Structures are given as C-alpha cells and as structure tokens.
Chain A
Amino acid sequence: MEKLTKDGLEKLRQQHAAADKNYIKVGFSSCGIAAGAQEVYDVLCEEVRKHNADVEIKKCGCVGMCSAEPLVEVRVKNMPRVFYGKVDKETAIKIVEKHVGAKMLLNDRIYDMKVS
C-alpha cells in the first residue's frame, strides 16, 4: 500500500463506500468464535458456492448481543435487514436457501438488535 495523502484517503473512502449489495455478515469476535462462528461461516460459504447465490459473505466484530451468538446479519435487496441469532449449521443452510434464494425470512430465528 502506498503512503496515504489526504486526497488518497478521500479516494479510498469513496472507492470502498458501501455499494448497494447483498451481504451476509458473521460476528467474529471472541463471543461469536466461542459460540461457533467459524463453522457457521464455513457452511455459509459452502452453501453460497453450491447455489451460486448473489451474496457476499463477510466477517465483522461483535454487534453487542453476545447471548445470541453466533449472530448472522443478512441484507438482501428489497427485504428488511435482519439478525439471525444462535445460528447453527441447519439454520445457516436455510439462510442461504430460503432467505437469499427464495426471499423468505426464516421463522423462530430472528432477533431484534435495538440499535437506532
């Protein structure tokens, strides 16, 4: 990476500014990892590859609701952005098949984050 100048910083900012893309984020702080985030992440990657789904899988830090880890945030265009809590392998598979694929939210898995 080149040494940043002020212009360079601004350019980089615009370049990486959030594009309107579908994403799945998995919480990868101590709390998430301890609850099994790695397995969930692996399953999600595998499923997305299998279905060739139009979604990017990312890692992120702890969003705050540690009791519901592993937490997975899903944002698909024209659907509400939601958090799935206590995600296991089966739920991860369903997230890709139903939420991302069939555009259907999953029952009995969504948590509210209470962030304004």
Chain B
Amino acid sequence: MGKTVFIKDTTIGGKDRTRDVYGILLGVLRERGLENNVQLVRVVDIGVYGQGVVVRVLPENFLYTHVEDADIVGIVEQSLIGGKPFAAKLVAEGARQLRIVLRNCGVIDPESIEEYIAKDGYQALAKVLSDTPEKTLQEMKTSGLRGRGGAGFPTGMKWEFTRKSPGAQKYIICNGDEGDPGAYMDRSVLEGDPHSVIEGMIIGGYAIGASKGYFYIRAEYPLAIERIEKALHQCREAGLLGKNIFGSSFSFDVEIRLGAGAFVCGEETALIASIEGKRGYPSPRPPFPSVKGLWGKPTCINNVETLANIPVILLKGGAWFAGIGTASSKGTKVFAVTGKVKNSGLVEVPMGTAIEDIVYGIGGGALAGKSVKAIQTGGPSGGVIPKEHFSTKVDYESLQQMGSIMGSGGMIVMDEDDCMPDIAKFYLGFCVDESCGKCAPCRIGGTQMLRLLTKVTEGEGTPKDLEQLEQISHAMQKASLCGLGQTAPNPVLSTLHYYRAEYDAHVKNKKCPACKCAKLVRFLIMSEKCVKCGMCFKACPVNAISGNRESGYLIDQTKCIRCGQCFEACKPRAISRS
C-alpha cells in the first residue's frame, strides 16, 4: 500500500491553514519527485481537536500535532521516505472508543441474519445451550454487568432472582421504551444490530427458565420495530426461535408490544401494566417483578443495551468483560452525545473514561466560537456536571456522587448560552407532562416546582422561592411512588447546587447571566458600532426592528420577543444583550 497523508488544521478560530500546509507539503514532495507515490488528502475531521495543524501518515498511522511549516521537510524525509516516526511532533493517539455493544452497528446489514452469523452471531447461544443455565448465571455474575437502563442493578443477580422464584411460567422482557430527551442509544442498536438483542434475550430466557419473551418498543421507533420484526421472522425460519432450539429441549418465542408514548412506561412496573393492556401506572415494589411480574409470574426486565452485551460476554467469558472498566462498573457504556457539541452522535467508551475525554476528545468540544459550560446526564432523572468537574470518570458511583446519574446514556452538552434555571425548568416541565398522576408528591409537587421555576425565570422570584424549591424537591424524592417522581427534582437540585449564583442573579438582580430568559434580557443596537447593513432588520421575525440603511436601525422593545436572531445575525457585534 502506498503512503497516504491526512491533513487538517484543527486550530479553533482564526484562518484555516489546511490548504496552505497541503500546498507546502505538495511542493516538498515534488522537489523529491514523490508526488505520484504519496496521496495527500485534506480531511474534514482528523480525530484530534484544537491541536494546531495535524498530519496523519498512513498506513503506519503516525500522528503529528502542532505541525509548523518548518516540520514538513522532516515529516517527508523521516516518515514518507524513511517509514519512521518524526519524533519531534509525534503524539500518542488520544481517547478512542471501544465497541462492544455497537460492535456490529454500521458494520453489518441489520436486515441480514447471515451477516450477523458471519460476525460470530448465535455462537454464544449455541455454546450456552450445550451447558446448564446455572453455568450461564455464574458467567454473568463473574462479568459484573450492570443494567444499562439507569439504575445499574447487577444483571446476573436479577436473572438469578427470577430463576429462583417459584413458578412454572416465567417471562423475559426487553425494555426498548427509551424516552429520555436526547438519548437514542437503544434505537440505534435495535436498528443497527437487532439480532444481538434477540440473541441476548434468548440466552436470558434460557438462563432464567422463561419460555416467552416480549419486546416493548416505543411506537415512535417505526424503523426499529420493522427491523426487529424482520429479524424475529428470520430467527423463526432458522429455528433459532420456536421449539427445541439447536436440538436442545429449550423452547422460546418472542412477541413485540408497542409503547404508546408514555415516558413512565419505561419504569418496569408501569411497563408490565402496559403489556397487560392496562393503563401504564406504576405500582409499589415489593413485590418485585422477579417475584410477581407480568400476569403475576416471575419476570425479568432488561434494557436493550444490557441484552446486546450478553452474547459477547458469554462468547468471550465473564472474566474478559470484568477486565474492562472500573472496580464497580464493568464493561463499556454507550452515550448519546448531543446538544451544543461538534460531533453529536453515539460514543461507546470503557467505564472509567473521563468526561473531558468524551466531550473534548471524541465529541470535539463546543460548536465554533463558544465554550462548553456543563453536561447533563441521565435525562430528566439526572443532573448537570459543570466543566470544572470534567475530570470525573464515568461510572455509576462517581456520577451519583456528582449529583447526577448514569441513566440510560444521554449526555447533553451545554454551552455558555444555556441558562441553568431554564434548563431545570425544561426537564421539570418534561416530568410534569409525563407524570401519570397516580401519587400526590409527583403530581402536585412537580406542578408547584414548575410554577416556582417559571416565576424565577420570569424575574418574579424571591429568595423564599428557592428555599421552597429545595423543600419540595426533598419531599418528592422521599414520597413519590416510582422512579419518575423520585428523580424528577434531580435537575433542579443539581443546578441549585452548582449554579446557585445564577439562580441568585435571577432572583435578586432580575438578570439572566446567560441572556436566555426572555423576560430578563434586552437587545439594544449600539449605534457607534452599527454599520447599518440591515441584517438584523431582515432577521427579525416579528418586525420589531425599524429603520433603513441611511438612518440606522432601532429595536422596538414592546414588539421584541427576545428571540436573539438579530444578535446572531449581526456580524460587527453591534447588538448588545444584557
């Protein structure tokens, strides 16, 4: 293979020098008559951010950062001619992903069972079926896998409880009712590698002694449903579902149930009620589903990501899996990194990876010209983690210590323009909408908290309101029936904890430091900076800006809806926001 060189200027702000470096490098190659032996490529993303000019030499994969023009001759002579690293600028590869759950996503055709089998699919099932269920349980306990739905309960123990519960009929359910704002890991796995989840489920069924499984998938995921249906059909044809799988005495089949869009149905007791055709109300635990679940029978509920882990664990062994991650959290976690981040998408990293490696190293940091302020994990049940604490390593315990939770894996990046009371209001509003109304603490507490937060963000708040917010939060945490109500105040508490000054600014000074809360912000055109270009006039959606290119422009404060579009549109930054 000939040499290939990737070039990208990763400097944040300033002129992009990618083309200049490309030109210089090409010149140096021409002098040595090498231009036909080496491919020079300008790339959009080189996997490193904010490190000056970056050059990557393939196939050796030498990575050079902060490359100056003077280094180019050295790189050509050392690496391209000599095949050796150019030591002065060589750096080690930064944070990379480790893909266990997403091993086949984007690799195989999700609608082809043959391609899944070619990637060692159903090998784990064949292996498991030739041994006792106890062996599988033991292997799962060795692996230390914990539920990926959020709570982090050890999967092996959950299976064992269900297996030991008395009763002839048992069920296993795959919880695909993913509802956290900004989280879509499960959808991607169901769409990209449906067979891995099905295989995990069949193995689970064998281990706990269930003959029937249910997929509970939200109806908003039509493509995921279609692909799971197709995959189930292929499994039945191949005899991987049905009677006497692989000639063993084990029989198993799976049905799909669709969620009708209620967030609370992701909670296991509500999910069971929903499958039974009842209203999706949670019920008090105990009895836990592992004792009395679907139709009163012992039931095990696992998240999509948990199940996708299982075939690999059983194929490679629990000890292998336990070698990845931290002391208490094993394996990897998929995060849906979204919000104001350069590379939004799915990231799978070993447990114990620092947040900064995910946000800056893989996510690429904030969008152009802004800086990251915090991340929010765990959706409406989680909390925010300010950038000062980005050295925190992600695992179940450390995120909990930070006042957030692992949750299902949503990671929303927020920048300097995000107002914390407003964020808290958004998440709380979500929970108020989704509260089923069965228990009073969640139904009434949530509504009252939302009322208080609305007051704060509109500049009507008093210091007493903040005290009351905390009081109601603690009451909701203690007294709510299910996880939704118990965790709904978390975003409020964690923003109050880390960003008290921002709340105080809203309450005492009636100002929004992030200039987000519409009632507290004012946009003004500074005539001394204004170049009278009229861009703000064009951008305003409500015609609140009047004037012309001779006399300049003026914002009518009574008409202005504080959307900030003029502010964004103004190139010379002549619009003040305060």
| Chain A residues near B (Cβ < 8 Å) | 1-6, 9, 12-13, 15-18, 25, 27-31, 33, 58-68, 71, 73, 78-80, 85-86, 104-116
B1 sits at the interface (CB 8 A)? yes
Report the separation of the CA atoms of residues A28 and B117 in the bound assembly, to the nearest whole angstrom: 20
Contact in complex: B44, A85 (CB < 8 Å):
yes
Report the separation of the CA atoms of residues A71 and B96 in the bound assembly, to the nearest whole angstrom: 19
Report the separation of the CA atoms of residues A108 and B45 in the bound assembly, to the nearest whole angstrom: 9
Residue in contact with B192 in the complex, picked from A3, A61, A71, A78, CB distance below 8 Å: A61
Report the separation of the CA atoms of residues A86 and B120 in the bound assembly, to the nearest whole angstrom: 31
Report the separation of the CA atoms of residues A115 and B346 in the bound assembly, to the nearest whole angstrom: 11
| Beta-carbon nearest neighbor of B116 in chain A | A16
Contact in complex: B102, A108 (CB < 8 Å):
no
Residues in B175-228 with C-beta less than 8 Å from chain A: 187-188, 191-193, 221, 223
B463 sits at the interface (CB 8 A)? no
B109 sits at the interface (CB 8 A)? yes
Contact in complex: A111, B344 (CB < 8 Å):
no
CB distance from B462 to the nearest CB of A (A): 42
| Beta-carbon nearest neighbor of B223 in chain A | A30
Residues in B109-130 with C-beta less than 8 Å from chain A: 109-111, 114-115, 117-118, 120-123, 126, 130
Contact in complex: A12, B44 (CB < 8 Å):
no
Contacts of B1 in A (CB 8 A): 78-80
Interface centre among A61, A104, A110 (most CB of B within 10 A): A61
Contact in complex: A17, B345 (CB < 8 Å):
no
Contacts of B39 in A (CB 8 A): 104-105
Give 27 A-B contacts (CB < 8 Å), ordered by A residue: A3-B238, A4-B240, A5-B246, A6-B130, A9-B123, A13-B118, A16-B115, A27-B106, A29-B191, A30-B221, A30-B223, A61-B107, A61-B108, A61-B110, A61-B188, A61-B192, A61-B193, A62-B105, A62-B106, A64-B106, A67-B345, A71-B106, A79-B4, A104-B39, A112-B45, A112-B47, A114-B96
Nearest 10 pairs of A and B residues by beta carbon: A61-B192, A63-B106, A3-B239, A112-B47, A16-B118, A64-B346, A66-B345, A110-B43, A116-B96, A111-B45
Contacts A6-B246, A80-B4, A113-B47 aside, 18 further interface pairs with beta carbons under 8 A come to A1-B234, A13-B118, A15-B118, A30-B221, A31-B188, A61-B188, A62-B192, A63-B106, A64-B97, A65-B343, A66-B345, A67-B344, A85-B44, A105-B4, A110-B45, A112-B46, A114-B362, A116-B99
| Chain B residues near A (Cβ < 8 Å) | 1-2, 4, 6, 39, 41-47, 58-59, 95-99, 102, 104-111, 114-115, 117-118, 120-123, 126, 130, 187-188, 191-193, 221, 223, 234, 237-240, 246-247, 342-348, 362
Contact in complex: A58, B109 (CB < 8 Å):
yes
Report the separation of the CA atoms of residues A73 and B187 in the bound assembly, to the nearest whole angstrom: 21
Contact in complex: B126, A6 (CB < 8 Å):
yes
Contacts of B47 in A (CB 8 A): 112-114
A5-B246, A6-B126, A60-B106 in contact; A110/B120 too (CB < 8 A)? no
Contacts of A60 in B (CB 8 A): 105-110, 192
Residue in contact with B42 in the complex, picked from A1, A3, A108, CB distance below 8 Å: A108
Report the separation of the CA atoms of residues A58 and B107 in the bound assembly, to the nearest whole angstrom: 10
Main secondary structure of the interface of A (DSSP, over half): loop
Contacts of B187 in A (CB 8 A): 29-30
> What is the number of contacts between chain A and chain B, taking CB atoms within 8 Å?
158
CB distance from B345 to the nearest CB of A (A): 4
Contacts of B96 in A (CB 8 A): 114-116
| Beta-carbon nearest neighbor of B39 in chain A | A105
Residue in contact with B223 in the complex, picked from A9, A29, A85, CB distance below 8 Å: A29
Contact in complex: B117, A64 (CB < 8 Å):
no
| Beta-carbon nearest neighbor of A4 in chain B | B238
Report the separation of the CA atoms of residues A6 and B97 in the bound assembly, to the nearest whole angstrom: 33
| Beta-carbon nearest neighbor of B59 in chain A | A80
Contacts of B238 in A (CB 8 A): 1-4
CB distance from A83 to the nearest CB of B (A): 9
Report the separation of the CA atoms of residues A16 and B205 in the bound assembly, to the nearest whole angstrom: 28
Report the separation of the CA atoms of residues A60 and B108 in the bound assembly, to the nearest whole angstrom: 5
Contact in complex: B106, A110 (CB < 8 Å):
no
Interface centre among A17, A63, A109, A113 (most CB of B within 10 A): A63
Contact in complex: B192, A29 (CB < 8 Å):
yes
A4-B240, A110-B6, A116-B96 in contact; A66/B114 too (CB < 8 A)? no
CB distance from A81 to the nearest CB of B (A): 10
Contacts of B240 in A (CB 8 A): 4
Interface centre among A15, A64, A67 (most CB of B within 10 A): A64
Contact in complex: B117, A13 (CB < 8 Å):
yes
Contacts of B109 in A (CB 8 A): 58-60
Residue in contact with A107 in the complex, picked from B41, B115, B221, CB distance below 8 Å: B41
Contact in complex: A66, B344 (CB < 8 Å):
yes
Contacts of B58 in A (CB 8 A): 80
CB distance from B453 to the nearest CB of A (A): 31
